[in-house]
Structure formats: C-alpha cells, structure tokens
C-alpha cells in the first residue's frame, strides 16, 4: 500500500483500516516512512479525526511497536494511575504509598517534567540515590515484595509514541483527541497492569482547558481501556489553581511527606482519596468507595502509609532519612513574599502562570536536556476563596538566583485576581467517567 493513498484517504475523511494503521505505525517506527508524509497524515487526522475503531487500532499499533510488560507474576490486581499533568501535582507521591500500605499492588510507570508541569521521577530524585530506571525484573520483584514501584518508561515501551509525539510537537498537531488518546493509552497498555485510574486535569494549568474537551478525552481513553479488557476509570479534577500549596520539586516532596503524616492540604487529599478509592474498588479489597476511602484515611492516621513511603524510597536506593528529617532538603537561598496589593478575596491563582514562574526560577525544563534546580519554586499562602489583606503574602518565592525573582513576581501578580466580593473555594472533583 502507498502512503500517498493513505494520506489522501484520510484527507477526504475516510476510515483507515486496521491493516493500514498498523502499516503506517510500523513503517514510521522502523524508519521506512519519512517524517514529511507522517506530518501530512497527522494534519489530515487533526482536521478529519478518527472514529472509535480507528482510535483503538492506532493505540494498539503503537502499543505493539515495542515491548509489552508481562506483570502476570505479580500477585493481585496490578494498578497504574496516570495524570494528564498539572501544577503542584504531587498526587502519586501521596497516593501510591497509601494504596500499597492497604495491600494493593501499585506498578507505576512515570515520566519527567517538561514545561510548566512537573514529573514524578524528578521529584523522587530529590532523595539522593533514588533509582528511577528499574529493570523489568527489579520492578516486578519490588511490587511483589513491598506492593509499590515507580520507574521511568523504558526506551522500547511504545517507541512509536516517542517518534510520533516529537513530530506532533513541531507540526501543531498535539491537541487532537485521537492522537492524545493513542499517545497516553499505548504506554498505559504496554505497561501491563490490570487496571488503570486516570486523573484528567481540567482548567488553566491543565492540557485540557475546558470541561467539554477533558470529558471527551476521558471518555475516549476509558473506551480504549475497556476495549483492551482493562478495568479503567477517569476522574476529572480541577487545575485552575495549583494543587496543594507547593510548586517545585523539593517543596512538593516535603508537602507530600507532610500529607502522608496527616497534614495534607484539603484539595490535594480530596484528589488522592477520590482516585485511591477507585483503585481499591478495582483491586476488589473493598467494593464500596466510601469504605475504601475510610481504609485510606486509616492508613494515614495509623502511620502505615508514611512507613510504606519510607520503605519504598529505601527499596529504590533513595536516602529515606530525608523523609524522616525534612530539614535535610537543601533550602533555596532566597525566600521572598509576594504581597497582595489590596484587601479582598482571592478569586484566581492562574495555575499555568504559577507553573511557568517556577520554571523561570529553574524549577522546570524547557527542553529534556535542562537541569532542574530542586530547591526553587513557590509556596502559596492563600487559595481561591480565601480572604486576604493588603500587604499579606499571596505566596513565597523560593529562589537561588536573585536576578530571577522580579520576573517571577511579575508573573505571579499578573496571575492573581483579588476582588472585594466573597467567592467559594474550588470544587476539586468535576466529573467521573467509568
């Protein structure tokens, strides 16, 4: 079959067959089809879309382009959790140990941060010595032994996605539902778990800015998961403001440690408990979500969740003494308040700008080669709905380069809305797709 004909077919809005989709994905992965033809096809898909059958075939072809983990030797229902990204999102650091302490096997593939969204592996590397690149054997053994392991994606897990995403990124074809679905779900299905819980973030700091688009993506991913015989659900969570108070690697790790000790921000814990209760129900340890949540609350209250976190860090070579003594994390040289310019109520803390401000301080990457400054970031003093007085800190900037503080402060001020009228705190759980 000729690639020219397949581009023409999709350009006219016609369906690509299963065989044609596999031919395209395999040909591009193997270097037999050039970038310029795939670029044309991506643009045709962007404008014409794909139906649910095509999406499934695209996802499975991408999954089948590399290794597929066999986790059958792990006892119990193996569960992965995936977030579409956000600002201050340290959910995995809190959720994973809680769930594992209850006895649910958490086999998690995670990525690194890019742009204004953080990466779980980066945050875990705040613990000196932490190994975020486990072998398949070590990964399986660790989940069997302590019920949790978190590792980076291997180079040969859905390699088609890596090539296709790089091309989508430079051809303005990233934000198309079929392509996003294929990208996320091909990796999740290749990771070999029995169940997947998706945290689909919505709002200013999320990839999906509107509930409508987020819901469309959630439904698409859940449909693919079910077609692949996985237990799957998606929870839409609010990312109009940063999650929790901390933005930045060490700062978020410290907040996660405090959360596991029972001192977590309300919004962070609401997301953790909603996602976790779904994971526990999938595991069949508990069938009722209310009772599942109670199991999680008890695991935090009795210290077993925090103890599991310490065990997890140790198992992957990290220095867990940082968890038991957070003063070991090296602080930033400068901690500067950003003060409110008027009395009133906080109506907006636009999450994306806070993420970009943290990145500008050195807390994130513009390219994968950039080195992150683990100590820098932002710690909020107020959340949307809170009352604030003129001169009171909105947040604190943690910086190591004094010359970068002014720009970050300007970004934060422009992203903060204070008005005299009272307003409500944000609802965190927007919708659930099962």
The catalytic site residues sit at: 82, 161, 168, 183, 187
Nearest partner of 286 among 301, 297, 270, judged by Cα: 297
Residue by residue, DSSP assigns 328-372 as GSPPPSEEEEEE-SSSEEEEEE-HHHHHHHHIIIIIS-SSTTPPP
**How far apart are alpha carbons 281 and 26 in whole angstroms?**
37
Nearest partner of 63 among 198, 132, 164, judged by Cα: 164
Three-class DSSP category at 79 = strand
Structure-token pair, residue 315: 């198992």
Distances (CA, A) of 323 to 251, 257, 307, 326, 398: 12, 7, 10, 6, 20
Ramachandran area for residue 27 (φ above 0: left; ψ -120 to 50: alpha; else beta): alpha
Structure-token pair, residue 31: 């270097």
> Which residues are 208's β-sheet partners?
202
What one-character DSSP code corresponds to residue 149?
Answer: E
Is residue 317 within 8 Å of 129, Cβ to Cβ? yes
* Rg, the chain, Cα only: 22
Is residue 182 within 8 Å of 59, Cβ to Cβ? yes
Structure-token pair, residue 369: 């080669």
**How far apart are alpha carbons 255 and 94 in whole angstroms?**
9
First to last CA, the chain: 38
Nearest partner of 92 among 107, 102, 103, judged by Cα: 107
């Amino acid at each position: 079959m000729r690639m020219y004909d397949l581009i023409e077919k999709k350009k006219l809005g016609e369906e690509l067959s299963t065989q044609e989709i596999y031919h395209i994905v395999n040909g591009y992965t193997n270097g037999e089809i050039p970038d310029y033809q795939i670029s044309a096809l991506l643009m045709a898909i962007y404008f014409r879309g794909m139906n649910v059958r095509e999406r499934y075939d695209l996802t499975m072809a991408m999954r089948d382009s590399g290794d597929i983990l066999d986790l059958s030797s792990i006892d119990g229902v193996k569960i992965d959790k995936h977030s579409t990204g956000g600002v201050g999102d340290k959910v995995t650091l809190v959720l994973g140990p809680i769930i594992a302490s209850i006895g649910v096997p958490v086999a998690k593939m995670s990525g690194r941060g890019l742009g204004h969204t953080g990466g779980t592996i980066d945050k875990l590397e705040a613990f000196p010595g932490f190994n975020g690149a486990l072998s398949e054997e070590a990964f399986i053994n660790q989940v069997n032994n302590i019920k949790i392991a978190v590792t980076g994606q291997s180079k040969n897990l859905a390699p088609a996605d890596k090539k296709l995403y790089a091309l989508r990124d430079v051809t303005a074809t990233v934000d198309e539902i079929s392509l996003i679905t294929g990208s996320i779900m091909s990796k999740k299905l290749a990771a070999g778990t029995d169940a997947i819980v998706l945290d689909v973030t919505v709002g200013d700091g999320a990839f999906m800015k509107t509930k409508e688009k987020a819901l469309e993506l959630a439904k698409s991913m859940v449909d693919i998961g079910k077609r692949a015989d996985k237990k799957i659900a998606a929870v839409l969570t609010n990312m109009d403001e940063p999650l929790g108070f901390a933005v930045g690697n060490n700062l978020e790790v410290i907040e996660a440690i405090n959360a596991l000790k029972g001192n977590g921000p309300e919004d962070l814990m609401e997301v953790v408990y909603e996602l976790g209760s779904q994971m526990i129900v999938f595991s069949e340890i508990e069938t009722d979500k209310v009772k599942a949540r109670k199991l999680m609350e008890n695991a935090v209250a009795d210290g077993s969740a925090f103890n599991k976190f310490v065990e997890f860090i140790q198992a992957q070579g990290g220095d867990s003494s940082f968890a038991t003594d957070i003063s070991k994390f090296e602080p930033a040289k400068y901690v500067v308040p950003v003060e409110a310019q008027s009395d009133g109520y906080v109506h907006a803390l636009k999450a994306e700008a806070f993420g970009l401000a943290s990145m500008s301080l050195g807390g994130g990457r513009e390219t994968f080669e950039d080195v992150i400054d683990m100590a820098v970031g932002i710690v909020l003093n107020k959340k949307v709905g809170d009352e604030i007085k003129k001169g009171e800190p909105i947040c604190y900037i943690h910086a190591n380069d004094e010359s970068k503080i002014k720009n970050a402060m300007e970004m934060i001020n422009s992203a903060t809305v204070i008005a005299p009228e009272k307003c409500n705190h944000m609802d965190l759980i927007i919708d659930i797709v099962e």
